[in-house]
Structure 1
Amino acid sequence: MPLSAPVPRRLLHRRIVQCWGYHRDDGLWDIEGQMVDTKTYPFPNEDRGGAIQAEEPLHDMWIRLTVDDQFCIHGVDVRTDAAPFGLCPAIVSRYQQLIGVRIGPGWSLKLRELFGGVRGCTHMTELLGPVATTMFQTVYGQRYDEDDAKSAEDRPPPPVLNTCHALSSDSAVVKKRWPKVYTGPDRETDKHYRPLLDDCLT
């Protein structure tokens, strides 16, 4: 459903972020992202021949992370196809420092530590956010599809339990899909399930 009707206005800037998740034949995962910024009007730019034209990319940046099943990064490929300054692409090699880093708790803090301020490219570092989210959607999505073949009682607890309101341990979604870890008001007391829940919440 579209948003409510806006007041009269004109488009000035468009940012498009696209991400793709792939399962490689060698068992690893490739997660790719692209960010493109364009304007609807031309504007001066000394580093790009005097001007950047309307709809010509101001930024066009790519990144690929290769990760394993534990979300540890094995490979990084970064490209800057368009940027406002000729110096911008010089920073891409710094992102090789992600090799060996695990995507998970503390990810945002690690990105600030490695690439904050003058140590990185603001836009490339921003792109790593949706790339990481796409990784989880790709890997966990396949695992959820595999779990659907199991009975609800045999499904393992989801690693994303209690990360949003729909996946709260007392929600109807969790009650239906993962009854072993459901904690809603009509939850039956069962000492057999309690250790499973404790493991998920710690």
Structure 2
Amino acid sequence: MPLSPPVERQHIHTRKVTCTGYRRADGLWDIEGHITDEKTYPFENPYRGRLEPGDFIHQMWVRLTVDDTLTVQAVEAVTDHSPFPVCPAITPNFQRLIGLRIAAGWTAAVKERLSGIQGCTHLVELLGPVATTAFQTIMPLLNKEQEERRKAAEAAGAPKQAPKRPPLLNTCHAFRSDGPVVKAAWPDFYTGPDKEAAGTESRRD
């Protein structure tokens, strides 16, 4: 168990967020998110009546179709379960995401288009992990394929290409430029105290 043993407690609420990335046959990518909320006790909802333990208070879906640059080409948003009957009426507004690119400024751009009464709190929250899932789905695979093409070209006699700056460089503690991960994975971009040795070792490889 990754957390320490808890004190005696009662399970009250469960929120589940699941995000999945797919590569499509047409060259685009589908990134899907699913969010649910449920209680462990029965209660009355003024619109839906009695909800039993395990009944979904919220169940919502979103699908972003993006290209290789993580630019949104199509959007689908669905509310299957909600506490109020008016909730599903706002899903057409999520078409405003078309044309946005998942990159720096994504969260601000989403809020600009869908904050407050213009959107749904739960679907907007879901777009955060969906965006991260898009990056995790697309970029590692494209980078892998690019590296394979580079190695194949060099093996065929093409001039050796200068390495490109890794997009993950300095984005978190593990990928700090003077750390052991960067030294091992991207020695050309390592900035630690023994950077000369790392660069020499890389050129020897």
Q: TM-score, normalised by structure 2?
A: 0.86
Corresponding position of 1:65: 64
Between the aligned partners of 2:164 and 2:42, the Cα distance in structure 1 is 54
Mark the CA change 1:81 to 1:116 in structure 2 (over 3 Å): closer, same or farther: same
Match of 1:184 among 182, 186, 192: 192
Secondary structure at the counterpart of residue 10 of structure 2: coil
Aligned equivalents of 1:85, 1:66: Cα separation in 2: 28
Does the CA contact (< 8 Å) of 1:147 and 1:155 recur in 2?
A: no
Q: In the aligned structure 2, how far is the partner of 1:28 from the partner of 1:148?
A: 20
Shift of 1:143: 3.1
1:74 and 2:82 correspond: no
Structure 1's consecutive aligned runs of 4 or more residues displaced over 6 angstroms after TM superposition are none
Q: Within the alignment, does 1:31 sit opposite 2:31 as a pair? A: yes
Partner SS state of residue 47, structure 1: coil
SS in 1 for 2:195: coil
| Deviation, structure 1 residue 140 | 1.8
Q: Write out per-residue CA displacement over residues 79-108 of structure 1, whole angstroms, 9 at most, x where no aligned residue.
A: 101000000000000000000111111111
Mapping of 1:100-139 within 5 angstroms?
100-139=99-138
Query: What is the Cα deviation at residue 146 of structure 1?
Result: 3.7
Counterparts of 1:147 and 1:164, CA distance in 2: 24
**Percent identity of equivalent pairs:** 52
Q: Report the counterpart of residue 52 of structure 2 in structure 1.
A: 53
Q: Is the 8 A contact 1:60 1:81 kept in 2?
A: yes
Q: Secondary structure at the match of 1:130?
A: helix
Paired with 1:74 and 1:146, the residues of 2 have a C-alpha distance of: 23
Output the CA distance in 2 between the equivalents of 1:44 and 1:115. 30
Partner deviation per Cα, 1:2-34 (whole Å, 9 max, x = no partner):
311111101010000001001111111110000
Among residues 174, 183, 190, which one is paired with 1:175 in the alignment?
Answer: 183
TM-score (norm 1): 0.87
State whether structure 2 residue 114 is matched by structure 1 residue 98.
Answer: no
SS where residue 17 of structure 2 aligns? strand
What residue ranges of structure 1 are gaps of 5+ in the alignment? 190-202
